[in-house]
Amino acid sequence: MLTLAGLAGCATAPPQPLKADRVVVKKSERKLMLMKGGTVLRQYRVALGKHPYGPKMEEGDKRTPEGAYMLDWRNPRSNYYKAIHISYPNEEDVQLARAIGVSPGGMIMIHGLPSYIRSPAILKQYKGRDWTNGCIAVNNAEMDEIWRLVGVGTPILILP
């Protein structure tokens, strides 16, 4: 009887993986941080839009937005290795674009490398440079980790 009671303690559920409650991107540092409370869980070097300085003003400007958004849906079969959508444009972005007579654009994501490129030599050329149309890109192994640690509904703050 004592033996059975002692074994009951071994039946506890395994610990759940730590999930980020916020994502912070510092464009000037090319850094994406997964946060839990005030603690940095993980940090990654990122590639940004081809014109990374300044806020996104309009569709096609190849800039990464700046501001407060949400990660609002995921695409496991994107043209890039996995993709998590950023809720750009927010109301402020829409009003700014409207005031200058342009479309703010959209479809801004956190994603991995292009899925349609198979050559390791070509993929290697993406490392260390800004190459997206305004998205935030990491390598595929990092995207797998972000995918596991960040859920839909997580706030993201993109700083200059």
* Residue 115 resides in a domain: yes
Question: For residue 64, is it within any domain?
Answer: yes
Answer whether residue 117 is part of any domain.
yes
| pLDDT for position 18 | 85
Q: Which domain holds residue 61?
A: 48-154
Asked if 119 and 48 touch (Cβ cutoff 8 Å), the reply is no
Within a domain: residue 38? no
Q: What is the pLDDT of residues 26-67, one digit of tens each?
A: 999 999 999 999 999 999 999 999 999 999 999 999 999 999
Q: 3-class secondary structure for 1-43?
A: CHHHHHHHHHHCCCCCCCCCCEEEEEHHHCEEEEEECCEEEEE
| pTM as predicted | 0.88
Q: Do the domain assignments include residue 16?
A: no
**Residue 94 resides in a domain:** yes
How many domains does the chain contain in total? Answer: 1
In a domain, 4, yes or no: no
pLDDT in tens, 89-141: 999 999 999 999 999 999 999 999 999 999 999 999 999 999 999 999 999 99
Whether pLDDT at 10 is above 80? no
Residue 139 lies in a domain: yes
Of 115, 109, 49, the closest CA to residue 81 belongs to: 115
* Strand, helix or coil for residue 147: helix
